[in-house]
Each structure stands twice: as structure tokens, then as C-alpha cells.
Amino acid sequence: MTSTVEVKGASLDIAKLAGAALLLIVGIFAFYYFAPWSALLRVLGLLVIAGAAVAIALQTEPGRALWQFIADARMEVRKVVWPTRQETIQTTLVVMAMVVVVGLVLWLFDTVLMAILRFLTGQGG
């Protein structure tokens, strides 16, 4: 068996990703170069350039894989059974109560250990 490696597609993907990165760098440079201009115009220009860079990056194999991953993640999030408001409130109250209880237990443990340490070292009243 022989396997062939597709070098042409990979090099084209690298060129597209490099172009997208260069476009972002140029956009950031332009954002600061045109500092005297309106901030709104600079932000809009940067958003347009960033959108173009993302569009170019999504035309590559890694870009398509990332987009597929995002789509799969959204589909999985839709399958989640989210708790009701009442369940969320009850769970939050239980967590807050346990934080207080554990805090008190740790404080008591610290106090007892400190008293033992003071007794053993002869410090304190």
C-alpha cells in the first residue's frame, strides 16, 4: 500500500492562513495609525478587516474543522436539560449554606489548633 500526501492543498491553506494573519496585523496597524480619526470609524474598519480575515481563514481545512466543531458544540448545548429557576435557586442556597458550615468548621478547627499551640508553647494568658 502507498499513501500520498496532498501538499498542494496544505500549502494553499498555509498561504490563506498567513494572508488572514497579515490582514489582521495590517488592520491593527491601521487602527493605531489613524488615531486622529473618529474612534467609531476606526473600530468599524477594524471589524470589517477582522471579518474578512475570518472569512479567509474559514476557507481553509483547519477553518472548516473549527466551524464544524462549533456547530457540533451548539448542537450538544441544545441537548442539555437545563435546570429550572427553582432548582437553580435551591442549589445556590444549599451551596451558600455549605460554604458557611465549612467556614465555621475550619474556623473552629483553627481556633482549637491555635489554643493547643499556645498551651504547648506557654504563650498567651
Indicate whether 65 and 116 sit together in one domain.
Answer: no
pLDDT grade for 123, boundaries at 50, 70 and 90: confident
Q: In which domain, by residue range, is 70 found? A: 1-80
Q: pTM of the prediction?
A: 0.57
**Helix residue spans in 1-122 (DSSP H):** 7-33, 39-57, 61-79, 85-121
pLDDT at 10: 83
Q: What is the pLDDT of residue 65?
A: 95
pLDDT of the residue at 11 = 85
Cα 52 from Cα 46, distance rounded (Å)? 10
- Distance, CA of 125 to CA of 59 (rounded, Å): 76
- Whole-angstrom Cα distance, residue 16 to residue 9? 10
Question: Looking at the 3D structure of the chain, how many domains does it have?
Answer: 2
Tell me the per-residue pLDDT of 46-99, one tens digit each, with 9 for 90 and over.
Answer: 999 999 999 999 999 999 999 999 999 999 999 999 999 999 999 999 999 999
pLDDT of residue 24: 95
Give phi and psi for 113, each to the nearest 5.
-65, -40
Same domain, 27 and 53: yes
**What pLDDT, in 10s, does the model give residues 1-53?**
555 555 567 889 999 999 999 999 999 999 999 999 999 999 999 999 999 99
How far apart, in whole angstroms, are the C-alpha atoms of residue 26 and residue 13? 20
Same domain, 93 and 124: yes
- Asked if residue 118 and residue 60 are part of one domain, the reply reads no
Which cell goes with 37?
A: 480619526
